[in-house]
């Protein structure tokens, strides 16, 4: 009796094992089974300690019925984590008497590990024509999560993919963060660059 070739034995052994492994689901090693990855890892360790904003100028555009504001912002941030953090701040122009948001802008920040940092920048806001007297700028860190591309947001992977993902955890995690980087809405700047404000 002639035995089948080793190639056939290997093929007919490996294929059923791969099919069987595809039915066993395990938690995704990239997102930890949640189905989401953080936009800015470590941003939860960053705290807004103080927000000071001074209005530089405001101009009403009667023809198009809006008002624009330019603010000089000084914000103190504290990073209590052990790693540097690159993230985003959301600045909200709001009517504090009603708690209503009038406009928002996003700014990128970098906060070194275990430090308190002062950041300053000019920011433009655009609101409706009628503006309340009670307005202020509020700042908060952007801590949103996005769907994990490795597990397609399910939080589970078949065993055969789980083995590959757990071995490439670092590279896949970096790729997932880079692909899902937070892209804020386009900031508002006056068409003439604010030359009228000088």
Which pLDDT value is given to residue 179?
Answer: 46
- Greater confidence, 117 or 2? 117
Average pLDDT score over residue span 63-84? 87
Which pLDDT value is given to residue 121?
Answer: 87
Query: What Cα–Cα distance (Å) separates residue 160 from each residue in 18, 30, 33, 138, 156?
Result: 7, 15, 16, 48, 12
Confidence grade of residue 173 (pLDDT, cut at 50, 70, 90): low
Side by side, the strands of the sheet bearing 85-95 are 100-111, 85-95, 135-141
pLDDT digits (tens, 9 = 90+) for 93-148: 888 778 788 888 888 888 898 999 999 988 888 887 777 777 888 888 887 776 67
Confidence grade of residue 76 (pLDDT, cut at 50, 70, 90): very high
> What is the spatial distance between Cα 194 and Cα 80, in angstroms, rounded to a whole number?
37
Please determine, for residue 15, whether its predicted confidence score (pLDDT) is greater than 90.
no
3-state DSSP of the chain = CCCCCHHHHHHHHHHHHHHHHHCCEEECCCCCCCCEEECCCCHHHEEEEEEEEEEEEEEEECCCCEEEEEEEEEEEEEECCCCCEEEEEEEEEEECCCCEEEEEEEEEEEECCCEEEEEEEEEEEEEECCCCCCEEEEEEECCCEEECCCCCCCCEEEHHHHHHHHHCHHHHHHHHHHHCCCCCCCCCCCCCCCHHHC
Please determine, for residue 16, whether its predicted confidence score (pLDDT) is greater than 60.
yes
Choose the weakest-confidence range: 6-15, 163-172, 176-185.
Answer: 176-185
| Biggest alpha carbon–alpha carbon distance for the chain | 97
Please determine, for residue 78, whether its predicted confidence score (pLDDT) is greater than 90.
yes
Confidence grade of residue 1 (pLDDT, cut at 50, 70, 90): low
The answer to whether 163 and 43 have CB atoms below 8 angstroms apart is no
> What is the spatial distance between Cα 123 and Cα 117, in angstroms, rounded to a whole number?
19
The full set of domains in the chain, from first to last, is: 6-38+146-179 (no CATH), 44-139 (2.60.40)
The model's pTM is 0.61
Please determine, for residue 195, whether its predicted confidence score (pLDDT) is greater than 50.
no
């Amino acid at each position: 009796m002639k035995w089948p070739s080793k190639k056939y034995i290997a093929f007919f052994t490996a294929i059923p094992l791969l099919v069987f492994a595809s039915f066993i689901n395990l938690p995704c090693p990239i997102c930890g089974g949640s189905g989401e990855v953080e936009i800015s890892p470590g941003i939860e360790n960053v705290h807004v300690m103080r927000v000071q904003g001074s209005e530089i100028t405001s101009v009403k555009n009667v023809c198009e019925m809006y008002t624009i504001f330019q603010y000089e912002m000084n914000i103190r941030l504290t990073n209590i984590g052990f790693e540097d953090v690159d993230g985003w701040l959301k600045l909200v122009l709001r009517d504090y008497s009603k708690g209503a948001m009038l406009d928002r802008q996003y700014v990128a920040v970098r906060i070194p590990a275990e430090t308190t940092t002062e950041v300053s920048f000019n920011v433009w806001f655009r609101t409706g024509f009628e503006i309340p007297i009670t307005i202020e700028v509020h700042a908060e860190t952007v801590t949103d999560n996005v769907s994990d591309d490795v597990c397609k947001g399910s939080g589970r992977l078949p065993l055969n993919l789980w083995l590959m993902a757990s071995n490439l955890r670092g590279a896949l995690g970096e790729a997932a963060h880079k692909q899902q980087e937070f892209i804020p809405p386009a900031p508002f700047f006056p068409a003439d660059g604010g030359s009228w404000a000088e």
